[in-house]
Homo-oligomer: A and B are copies of this chain.
């Protein structure tokens, strides 16, 4: 991991925005900028300094994982260690993660600042860290590719062991064992196996329902390798699929292809979404595709860009995101197809 380069890019942005320092506490941002993987702590980054404040439980780990950071032990009372964290910083604006920091944390932090450094103001960082993470480095792409390859292998495995009479929960668990035994870290999200009418719920939890022949079975799973996520969906059918299934499946497949083809450098998230949506609408299923087309993925399984109605996120080379159209028919079930794509030379290809 090239922390130095990431810090350089962050500092360049800080100079542009005239922000003197940032306070980072969102786990993925923290990891991205320091290598520290513990579940609690603050990074304080200025133009020159990098400090990592964490509690007793993580000190040894922080020492190993974030050698470029000065370490600081936090104690219950913020006022006691905040001055040490801020060091000589006495004035100016400190960026914070407004999409992660809670109202209570913000309140506590501003109050403490008022006491120990009245010249400092907190200012929202406006998704600056997620923007840093949006362009994937070759190392990151490699990890996502490994996660995606493993997920593909898991779908192949699922296709082999799937049979009428096995429960959604059982199948989900067998897939999880497959992924974990082959190197996935704890799954980025709970595996979805949704069969028959349950497949009409885009985010169904695996239930005790037994798989039957002829009905749609949606499997949405991801792996995590080297801290990076994949997120993919396939829809299966045991036995002979009915006409509805074939028509819906075809529609979703065409929608996915249309969306992937629509990707170009500087396209908006909305543009790609509507390429898929148009295909589904034309097939008469417009109302049955109620969610967005996709989302970025990397250290988080959901991160920018967003591909959906109203999204003006710009698609650029080096981005990785999901393309996942779906059609859901209450009472019958649904079909979703999801792949992870990487944009290079203005073209999206499945990673």
- Interface residues of A, Cβ cutoff 8 Å to B: 37-39, 55-58, 60-61, 76-77, 96, 98-104, 106-107, 124, 173, 176-177, 180-181, 186, 190, 200-205, 290-291, 308-310, 330
Contact = CB atoms under 8 A, between A and B. Distances in A.
B104 A39 contact: no
A113 to B, nearest CB: 14
A104 B124 contact: yes
Given A190-B186, A308-B76, A61 B204 contact: yes
Contacts of A102: 98-103
Given A173-B180, A290-B56, A203 B38 contact: yes
Nearest to A176: B180
Contacts of A56: 202, 290-291
A308 to B, nearest CB: 7
A58 B192 CA distance: 13
22 contacts: A39-B203, A55-B290, A55-B291, A56-B202, A56-B291, A57-B202, A57-B203, A57-B291, A60-B201, A61-B201, A61-B204, A76-B309, A77-B310, A96-B103, A98-B102, A98-B104, A99-B104, A102-B103, A103-B103, A103-B106, A173-B180, A176-B180
